[in-house]
Amino acid sequence: MPKMPKVATRMALRCAVVGVIACLLGCKAVLPQPICPHITPWSAAFQQQAAAELRQNLNLVALPEIARQDVVLRDQVRACQKGG
């Protein structure tokens, strides 16, 4: 196989580099979009009923903790849905 002259080798290398750069400049970074869960809003009447039931049963331990965690999760879902 005959040797390529140095000028031709440099030219081929430059073309390859320009081609790679052109490909890279044409590519866009794909940013993943978060998938936010759907929450069903509670009516004001239901929230008032739940609060009254919790206040009436002072010996409850688990249910108030579940309610607190649910509030945090709902806030996180709302933030996710707003994109923040």
Q: How confident is the model at residue 48 (pLDDT cuts 50, 70, 90)?
A: very high
Between the alpha carbon of residue 76 and those of residues 1, 64, 69, the distances in Å are: 66, 19, 11
What pLDDT was estimated at residue 34?
Answer: 80
Q: What number is the average pLDDT over the span 22-34? A: 73
Assess whether pLDDT exceeds 60 at residue 1: no
pLDDT-wise least confident of 8-17, 31-40, 69-78: 8-17
Assess whether pLDDT exceeds 80 at residue 50: yes
Residue 53 burial (10 A CB sphere; 0-12, 13-18, 19+): exposed
What pLDDT was estimated at residue 18?
Answer: 75
d(CA 53, CA 47): 10
More confident residue, 21 or 54: 54
